[in-house]
Amino acid sequence: MHLNYYGKSSVGFLLYGSRPYKYIKQYLNCSSIDVSMSIKILFGKSPGYMIGSTNGLVCLSNDLYFFLKEDKWLSIYICNPSTREILELPECHHAHNEFVLSIGFGFCPKFNDYKVVVVKLLDSVVNVRDPNCCLFSLGVEVYSLNRNSWRSTKIVNPRSVLTTSFQGKGYFNGAFHWGGRDLKSSKRMIMSFQFDEEVFRELNLPNHPDFQKENYFLNALIIEYQNFFSLIIKQKVNMHVYDLWVMKEYGVSDSWIKQLTIEVPILEDRLMFQPVMSFENNGELLVLRDWYGRIVWYNTKTKQIERSKEVLRGRSIRYKESLVSLSTKKVV
């Protein structure tokens, strides 16, 4: 009841920072609220990564994009920053020299379950028919909070591969999303992992020249805009202009439309903005960060800019408070 009623009106974002110490800090609209928590005890010298958030739960890992070694393994946690509960997941199956490509986290409404997916590169060999092409296999590990255990599958010679993690909200509509590419045609796309069926699916990008650029994924942000799956991208020709693309019917390629174009005024000190961090209040607040690490709020209606006094560096994700509890927990 709390999640369905209160959670809808308390959407903000979390900022995970690793310097000078590891912490999670919550922001609601234009202000910081005291729900910070230190997570240095979890990762030690490892950088730590914030994978994603749904229903007030946040998934963290000790590292990302690395080879598993005898002295370096994957540690994953699910926590609720509001209640300070944290759960360390059991160790997933892995062998030495497997490469961790990506991690996703989300809610499975069909089974009322929270799941984590780990995608790994297992092996690769040269294709004797085409020496310029490698054959490889992907390992997929899926954790279920209900079962508190992992399930392993293997994909041999996949036709497409994950290329990068989007900034912002990777989870939407029961799936986690990444950038992807078809291995034969090199076509760019969005890859999703459906938590109910535990399968990968492909979503086409808008048929627009902006999405053919080599580095568009670096400037793309997945958001949920008025309950629609959406993307914000920065126009290359102007560092302060952003386009909002909305998929009116999830999974239907022809339903992409350009909903908004937002131009952020250049500040007097002419600081260049880093990529968009979030988009709040149904599109009223655009959240960015300047090169000093200060968070910037731009109100698209009043055209006003507000900046935080704190200098914070780290990754941000969309977040809403909840009382969702973890069955096995400790308080930090």
Instruction: Fill in the amino acid letter for 27.
Output: Y
- Counting every residue written for the chain, the total comes to 332
Q: Could you give the CA distance from residue 3 to residue 39 in angstroms, rounded to a whole number? A: 25
Residue with the bigger pLDDT between 174 and 134: it is 174
Most confident of 11-20, 260-269, 288-297, 315-324: 315-324
CB distance 275 to 221 below 8 Å: yes
Query: How far apart, in whole angstroms, are the C-alpha atoms of residue 332 and residue 328?
Result: 13
What is the rounded average pLDDT of the residues 2-12? 62
Tell me which DSSP letter residue 8 carries.
G
pLDDT of residue 163: 72
State mean pLDDT over 219-225.
76
The most confident of the ranges 24-38, 150-164, 302-316 is 150-164
72 DSSP 8-state letter: B
Name residue 81's beta-bridge partners: none
Angle at 204 between CA 201 and CA 207, to 5 degrees: 180
Q: Could you give the CA distance from residue 95 to residue 231 in angstroms, rounded to a whole number?
A: 36
The pLDDT confidence band at residue 312, using thresholds 50, 70 and 90, is: low
DSSP state of 134: E
Of the two residues 228 and 72, the one the predictor is more confident about is: 228
Residue 255's pLDDT band, with cuts at 50, 70 and 90, is: very high
Q: What pLDDT is stored for residue 194 in this prediction?
A: 95
Cis amide linkage into residue 275, ω under 30° from 0 = no
Contact predicate 137/156, CB 8 Å = yes
What are the φ/ψ torsions at residue 60 (nearest 5 degrees)?
A: -125, 150
Mean pLDDT calculated for residue range 61-65: 80
Give the Cα separation of 52 and 14 in Å (integer): 10
- Tell me: pLDDT of 238 over 80: no
Residues whose CB is less than 8 angstroms from the CB of residue 170 and which lie 6 or more positions away in sequence, other chains included:
51, 52, 104, 106, 176, 177, 178, 222
Mean pLDDT, range 250-263, rounded to an integer: 90
Amino acid at position 147, single letter: R
Distance separating alpha carbons of residues 79 and 329, to the nearest angstrom: 9
Distance CA 68, CA 71 (A): 8
Closest C-alpha to 142, from 96, 97, 195: 195
Q: What is the pLDDT of residue 321?
A: 79
Least reliable range by pLDDT among 150-164, 270-284, 306-320: 270-284
Place of tokens 């009623």: 5
The torsion of the CA quartet 108, 173, 190, 148, rounded to 10 degrees, works out to -10
pLDDT in tens, 261-309: 888 776 555 455 555 556 666 667 777 767 666 777 778 788 887 777 6
> Which pair of structure tokens corresponds to residue 279?
């988009």
Q: Distance between CA atoms of 95 and 89, rounded to whole angstroms?
A: 18
User: Which comes out higher in pLDDT, residue 254 or 122?
Assistant: 254
Tens digits of per-residue pLDDT, 286-298?
777 676 667 777 7
Q: Which two tokens stand for residue 190?
A: 């969005």
